[in-house]
Structure formats: structure tokens, C-alpha cells
Amino acid sequence: MQKLINELEEAQIGTILVEEPMSNHTTWKIGGPADLFIEPTDKYKLAHSLKVIKKYQVPWIVIGKGSNLLVRDQGIRGVVIKLSEGFSHISFHDNEVTVGAGYSFIRLAVMAGKEGLTGLEFAGGIPGTVGGAIYMNAGAHGSDVSRILKDAEVLLENGDLVKYKPEELEFAYRTSLFQTRKAIVIEATFQLTHGDRKEIAKQMATHKDRRRLTQPLTMPCAGSVFRNPPGDHAGRLIESAGLKGLKVGGAQVSEKHANFIVNCGNATAQDVLTLIEQVKQTIQERFHVTLVPEVLVLGEG
């Protein structure tokens, strides 16, 4: 590992941290240390980093803002790559917007609305980055990423930069090609439609108010924990089972929204995982429905 660190330092790829607590980089504020944590300054430094990491045969993963992510208590072996400032650019051209993978998805929706472009209103309540949204095919209010994505620039594991069209990305409900193929979204272009700024702002405000009233945004959480089963809502099932407020250690099923688990201040990843299993088991027994988590779990227990 030291040789890898030395080579990355010599290449001046950006921020390099050893044994960095992942609790500093997840919205749940949970997670043990990463062996090595890097923030490359741009896509070329990132591509070089991947080549060096591959040379030393060290495992790696990539994160954005750390939402929808649970890192286990013993942390992550290998390299964690975070896309941050160097991947936060944005530009508009007619009805298209090109944006870096590290850019906030909510912020993107706001900026598009200010430009009088409609199509991203659904993103106004989805935490995380553009790259994470593409990875998960994030969606809400009857729309998702696959409906508006024009193309995505992607860095392959061998260091090649390629562009993918949406039809090549195997989009489905909360899934994409990136969950089976190791690659990093660098940048995306979305095709939107010119609309009325006031109407867009009104719809965005409605979504924002609903989110503020129904979601536990003042507490550390990771967004929705479970995928909605066909024809139903995970939150409705969990609430119907009387599980709101159920607690394991410092983790609790939110009193505000049953499909959220909040960190009450000292939750461990194991607390969250145990609570997830209890909820799954109860819903299976009560309603014969198998809830599937949409939270990505990384690291060692």
C-alpha cells in the first residue's frame, strides 16, 4: 500500500488520506476507516489513479456525497475514490445541461429551473450527486434519470474514457449497468424541455415542502432504505406493521417516514443492519412481502 501511496503522491493526483473515517463522508454519519481515501482533482488525475491502483492490484470503490450508502464498522479495505470539487462543473446549451458527476443532483434541478428548463423537477428531493443518481437510476414523482439522460461520459477500469447512450446503460427500477460493471461516471448531459420558470419553481417548491414535512431531514439518514414493492410503498407497509420508532442501538425507524432509518447520534452500521433485518422479517411475516434494500452496503463488519 505504501508504494501505491508514494506513486499517487508523486503524480500529485489530489487529496490523499490514510485510515480516513468514512463516517465523515456518509450522510448517515456512520462507517469505519478506509485504508486509503483519495479525491482526484480532475478526470485525467482520476484516470491516472485508476491505472496506478490497478498496477498494485488494490480493490477500489467510488463515492459521491455518501447518501444511500452504509459503510460497515470495520471500514473499507483498499481505496475509496471520492468525486468532489473537480467534478462539480455545469454548463447549459439551449435545452441541454452538461454536468460533472460530483455535482449535487438537487442543485442541478434548481439550476435547470432557473434556466427555464423542465424535466428535472423530480430530482429536487433526491440527495446525492449526479453520478450516484445515474448509478441508481434515481427517480421520484413518476420520473427517473433514464427518461432525460442524453449521454454519460464514463471512465472504464482500464483508464479509457467512453460515452454511453441511455439505451446502453441497462436502466431499470433503481438499477443500471454500473451495478454489474466496474466503471465511473465522469460527466452527464441531460436533454430537457423549455418551460415556464414560474410553473417549474412552483412544482419544485411543492416537492420541497412535501419532503420537508414528510422526511426526517434534520437527522443523519441515507434516504429511502427499501425499494417500493410492485404496486405498493415500503413506507406504508412498515408503518402499517407498527414499526415507526422501532430502535436498535442508536438506529431508529423514523417517526416521520417509515422508510427512513435515522442515526440518533451513536448508531453503528451493525445497528442499522440489525434494524433492517428486523423490519424485513416483520413485513415478510405480516404481509408476505419481501422488502429489498436499496441502500448500498460496503466494507467489513
- Determine the length of the chain: 301
* Grid cell digits, residue 240: 402499517
Pairing mode, strands 183-191 and 96-100: antiparallel
| Residue 174 bears catalytic tag | yes
First to last CA, the chain: 22
Q: Is 102 helix (H, G, I), strand (E, B) or coil?
A: coil
Enclosing H/E stretch for 207: helix 197-214
* Grid cell digits, residue 281: 422479517
Residue 264: which residues within 8 A CB-CB, separation 6 or more?
A: 219, 247, 250, 251, 252
Which is the catalytic residue, given 23, 104, 176, 224?
224
Q: Is 90 helix (H, G, I), strand (E, B) or coil?
A: strand
Closest alpha carbon to 92 in 119, 61, 69: 119
Distances (CA, A) of 94 to 40, 165, 198, 200: 31, 20, 19, 17
| Residue 294 bears catalytic tag | yes
Enclosing H/E stretch for 272: helix 269-287
Which is the catalytic residue, given 174, 176, 187, 254?
174
Enclosing H/E stretch for 51: helix 43-55
Active site residues: 174, 224, 294
